Structure 1
Amino acid sequence: MSRRLSPVIPGFGLTLGYTLLYLSLVVLIPLATMFVFAARLTWHDFWAIITDARVLAALRLSFSTALFAAVINGVIGTLLAWVLVRYSFPGRKIIEAMIDLPFALPTAVAGIALTALYAPTGWVGQFATSLGFKIAYTPLGITLALTFVTLPFVVRTVQPVLADFPREVEEAAACLGAKPWQVFRHVLAPALLPAWLTGFALAFARGVGEYGSVIFIAGNMPMKTEILPLLIMVKLEQFNYPGATSIGVLMLVVSFILLLLINLLQRRIQTP
C-alpha cells in the first residue's frame, strides 16, 4: 500500500478560505464600498456626472495615453527582453537594474525628472521647442511618462518565457528552410504572445491609474491635459465625494471591461 504524503501547505479548503478572506479585505470590500456609496445617487445624477464634458475629456486622455504607452512598451520591451536573453555583453547587469528602476523610484521623483528634461527649458525640451512643438504639458509628455513607469511590466513578463524557449526549435525551423522572419512569425510569436498580452495588460492597467509621474509633466489643464486620477483628486479637494466616487466607478468599470477582453483574448490564444 502506497504511503500518502502530507502536503507542504494546508489543504484546498483552508488555503482557499485564506485566499478569499484576503481578497475580500484588500480588494472586494473597498471596491464594493465605492459602488454602495455611488448607489446613493440617483441614476440621473450619476449619469450627469460621468457624461460631463470635462470627465469625458479626462477619460479619453487617460485611456488613450495609457494605450499608446502600452503599445510602445510592447515593442521596445520585447526588444529589450530579446537583447538581455540572447546576448552577453559588458554592462548587461547595469541595464537589468535600470529596467527595474521605475519599480523602486518614487513616481513623483520620476515626474519631476521627466518634467525637467522635457520642459521647454529642459535639455531635450528646448530642442523640441526650436523645432516648433512641445513635449511637456501635452499628451505626448503624458505618454512618455507612462512609457517610463510601465516599461518593466513588459520586459519582466516576456523575458522568462523567452529564456525558457528551446533554441533547438528555432534551429530546426531554420534547418527546414524557414527564413528568420518566418521563424519569428510561426515559431517565436505564438509562444511569446500570451506573455506579451499579459505584459501589455499590466502596463495598460498601471498607466490608466498612474498619478505621481504624470501630474508634473501634464500641466493639468482641464479639457486638454487633465487625467482622470487628477480629476478625482480635484473632486475630493472640493469635498465633492459623490462626484469623485462616480468618476472612480466609471474608471473601474471601463478598466475592468478592457482587461477582461484582453484576458479573454489571451485565453483564446492559449486554447489549442
Structure 2
Amino acid sequence: MISRTNPIPRNAGRALFSGLVLTYLSFILLLPLGVIFLQASKRPWQELWQVITAPVAIEAYKLSFSAAILAALINSVFGMILAWILVRYDFPGKRFADGLVDLPFAMPAVVAGIALVSLYGPDGLLGRYLNPGTALGNGLQQLGFSPVNLTSSVIGVVFAKVFVTLPFVVRTVQPVLMELEPEVEEAAYVLGANDRQVFWRVIFPQLLPAILTGFTLAFARGVGEYGVVVLISGNIPYETMISSVYIYRRLEEYDYSGATAVAIVLLIVSLVVLICINLLQWWTRRYEN
C-alpha cells in the first residue's frame, strides 16, 4: 500500500525555507548590527565613553528622544483621529486624502525638508507672517513669546518628525478599525451606553495595541530621522542638533568608531522602548482576553 503523504520532502522543504529566512535576516539585520559593534570595539572603551558622554552628545540625545517621543504622541492622537475619519466617514476626495497619508513615505527626505523650509521659514509662505512687525508676530510678542521661528528651533525639529512619522499610526490603526464588528457597538447602545462609553469601553481597548504599535514605529523612525531635520533644524550645537547629525559630524572628522558608538546608544534605547511597548501590548491583549 502506497502512502499518500511523504514527510521527508515536507520536512526538507521546511528546513530549506527556514534556512533561507535565517540567511536573509542575517545578511539584512544581524550582520550590519554586528559590524557596528565590531567597528566601535576598535577604540578603547574609555575614549568611546568620552565621545558618547560629551556634553554636545548628551544634548543631542535629549533633543532626539524628546522630540521623537513628542512627535509620536502627537501622531498617536491625530493619527487615530485621521484613521477614524477615513474609515467611518464618506466625503468628497476621500480616496485622495487617503493617498496623501502615504506621501511622507514616497517623498524624498531632502525634498520634504526643502518644502517645509520654503513654507515655514522666516521668508516662507506662512513663516513670514510670524516675523516681528506683522500682526501675528506682534500679537505673539505681547503674549510673552519671543520671535517665533519654526525653523532653526526645537519646534522645527518636532514638526519635521511629526511630518515623517504620521503614516505609521494611521496605517496601523486603520485596518483594526475596518475589522471592528458593528454588532458589538450596536449591542452596547442597546444596553444603554452612550457614545463616550462605547468609544472608551468598547472601541478604544481594541485600538490600543495598534496605537502602541504605531507609536513605537513612529518613535523609532523619529529617532533615526536625518534628511528632513538636517534642513529645518539649523543644526545648532546644544540647541537644535540631533544625534543623527552629531553622528554625521563625527564621520566627517573620520571618527568612525565614535560615530558607531553614538549609533549604538540610539540602537539600545530604541530596542528598550520597543521591548517595553511589546510587553505593554502583551499585557493589554491578556487583559482583554
Per the normalisation by structure 2, the TM-score is 0.89
Quote the offset at 1:11 in angstroms.
Answer: 4.2
Which residue of structure 1 aligns with residue 134 of structure 2? none
Quote the Cα distance in structure 2 between the aligned partners of 1:157 and 1:170.
21
Q: List runs of 5+ in structure 2 lacking aligned partners.
A: 132-136, 141-146
Which residue of structure 2 aligns with residue 242 of structure 1? 257
Are 2:207 and 1:192 aligned?
yes
**How large is the Cα RMSD of the aligned pairs?**
2.0
Quote the Cα distance in structure 2 between the aligned partners of 1:235 and 1:106.
24
Inter-CA distance 247–96: structure 2 relative to 1 (3 Å threshold): same
Which residue of structure 2 aligns with residue 225 of structure 1? 240
1:112-169 C-alpha deviation (Å, 9 max, x unpaired): 1001111112122122332332211111111111111111110010001001101111
- Relative to structure 2, which stretch is displaced further, 123-132 or 224-233? 123-132
Are 2:61 and 1:46 aligned?
no
Q: List runs of 5+ in structure 1 lacking aligned partners.
A: none
Residue 220 of structure 2: SS of its match in structure 1? Answer: helix
Inter-CA distance 124–17: structure 2 relative to 1 (3 Å threshold): same
Question: Which structure 2 residues correspond to residues 115-130 of structure 1 after superposition, within 5 A?
Answer: 115-129=117-131, 130=137
Quote the offset at 1:15 in angstroms.
Answer: 2.1
Quote the offset at 1:102 in angstroms.
Answer: 0.8
Higher gyration radius (CA): 2
Which residue of structure 1 aligns with residue 186 of structure 2? 171
Are 2:110 and 1:102 aligned?
no
Are 2:269 and 1:267 aligned?
no
- Relative to structure 2, which stretch is displaced further, 37-46 or 58-67? 37-46
Quote the Cα distance in structure 2 between the aligned partners of 1:87 and 1:64.
34
1:46-77 C-alpha deviation (Å, 9 max, x unpaired): 21111100111111111111111111110111
Match of 1:13, as an amino acid?
A
**Equivalent residue pairs, number:** 272
Are 2:57 and 1:55 aligned?
yes
Are 2:270 and 1:255 aligned?
yes
Match of 1:227, as an amino acid?
I
Mapped contact 2:41–2:257 kept (Cα < 8 A): no
1:85-132 C-alpha deviation (Å, 9 max, x unpaired): 111111001101111111110011000100111111212212233233
- Relative to structure 2, which stretch is displaced further, 121-130 or 256-265? 121-130
Are 2:29 and 1:31 aligned?
no
Which residue of structure 2 aligns with residue 89 of structure 1? 91
1:215-272 C-alpha deviation (Å, 9 max, x unpaired): 1100000111101111111111111112111111111111111111111111111123
Quote the Cα distance in structure 2 between the aligned partners of 1:168 and 1:264.
30
Question: Which structure 2 residues correspond to residues 147-162 of structure 1 after superposition, within 5 A?
Answer: 147-162=162-177
Which residue of structure 2 aligns with residue 212 of structure 1? 227
- Relative to structure 2, which stretch is displaced further, 163-172 or 13-22? 13-22
1:4-33 C-alpha deviation (Å, 9 max, x unpaired): 59999x843222211111111011011111
Inter-CA distance 4–80: structure 2 relative to 1 (3 Å threshold): farther
Which residue of structure 2 aligns with residue 203 of structure 1? 218
